[in-house]
Amino acid sequence: MKQLDAKSKKTLPTLIITIILIVFCILWTIPTLGILVTSFRTADAASSTGWWTAFSDFKNFTLDNYNQVLFGQRFSVGNATGTSTVRGATMLSAFLSSITVTLPSVIIPILIAAAAAYGFAWLSFKGRNIMFAAIIALLVVPLQISLIPILRDYNKIGLNGSYLGIWLAHTGFGLPLATYMMYNYISSLPRSILESAFIDGSSHFTTFVRLILPLSAPAIASFAIFQFIWVWNDMLVSLVFLSGAGQKLQVVTVRLMNMAGTRGTDWHLLTAGAFVSMILPLCVFLGLQKFFVRGLLAGSVKG
């Protein structure tokens, strides 16, 4: 607080700056607010009047958009006995699919990267410098470059269009960043901790599992949040490696993209769908912002 006072003493009055900032915040929030409000409005209202007029008439609010988006849109179909209602593709299954894709893609790289980081930070071996330099180079290699070669390998071994294939792909694409973040953290642990473990006669494996992994919890948390938001929001990798499996394994981003393509003017449904796709990363982000920021400041770039 003291520092702030000292800095603001000679600046424009703090109040004016605060007002300018509030304008920025409003500018940055309005787009999201627009779809949040629209997602609760009826189809007619959403397509005929602006969302900013919604609060003049509270009759036009509904939860039905979410019902339709989550559990499938209702279509009337004529058949032999008259008409019946069937429900279309649901966002709920895409939501579950996204969870299925995301969780293992976050967890699997952590252990592999932590072990590698331990090796690079504390063990000496031939080729260490060159291999670590290669990892630094791979940090920014665009993953576009891997799509075709990996897709070909997948077609050969039958991994295309399966969850296993996409977990391994996300693991591969996330590993340089994971190793780099873990290395930065693990190499900064005090050497004395390790030495005392070796004096007690533990092997490298026990030291790693019992000592290094628990101590690296902050770095693991940072990477996990990073990777979670990245994998959840990814569209390209799922589009390439999961589209072979059809609609069943579709993740939320791809489903939302398709909705935007096929019902681009059904704003009440599209906005509800967008909100369903955003809710989980938003919660993770707001809840664990501290770790996310820490990860960003550790110099995180992803290829």
Q: Applying CB under 8 A, does 271 fall inside the site for another protein?
A: yes
* Beta carbons within 10 angstroms of residue 40's beta carbon: 21
Q: Of the candidates 82, 125, 156, 214, which one interacts with another protein according to CB under 8 A?
A: 125
Q: Applying CB under 8 A, does 226 fall inside the site for another protein?
A: no
Q: Applying CB under 8 A, does 46 fall inside the site for another protein?
A: yes
The answer to whether 70 touches 90, Cβ cutoff 8 Å, is yes
| Token pair belonging to 228 | 């979670």
Size of residue set near another protein by CB under 8 A = 126
Q: What is the DSSP letter of 109?
A: H
Query: Interhelix angle for 289-297 vs 217-233, to 10°?
Result: 100
How many Å apart are CA 299 and CA 184, to the nearest integer?
Answer: 10
Q: Give the residue with the Cβ less far from another protein, 84 or 137.
A: 137
Q: Applying CB under 8 A, does 67 fall inside the site for another protein?
A: no
CB of 56 to another protein, least distance (A): 13
Q: What is the DSSP letter of 79?
A: E
Q: What are phi and psi of 84, to 5 degrees?
A: -130, 165
68: left (phi over 0), alpha (psi -120 to 50) or beta: alpha
Coil/strand/helix, residue 130 = helix
Q: Applying CB under 8 A, does 4 fall inside the site for another protein?
A: yes
User: Binding to another protein (CB under 8 A): which residues in 128-167?
Assistant: 128-129, 131-150, 153, 158-159, 162-164, 167
Q: Tell me how far the alpha carbon of residue 289 is from its chain's centroid.
A: 13
How many Å apart are CA 190 and CA 193, to the nearest integer?
Answer: 6
Q: Applying CB under 8 A, does 34 fall inside the site for another protein?
A: yes
Q: Applying CB under 8 A, does 31 fall inside the site for another protein?
A: yes
CB of 192 to another protein, least distance (A): 16
User: Binding to another protein (CB under 8 A): which residues in 85-114?
Assistant: 93, 96-97, 99-100, 103-104, 107-108, 111-113
Q: Applying CB under 8 A, does 217 fall inside the site for another protein?
A: no
Stretch that binds another protein, among 66-74, 76-84, 119-127, 215-223 (CB under 8 A): 119-127
Q: Of the candidates 43, 70, 189, 284, which one interacts with another protein according to CB under 8 A?
A: 284
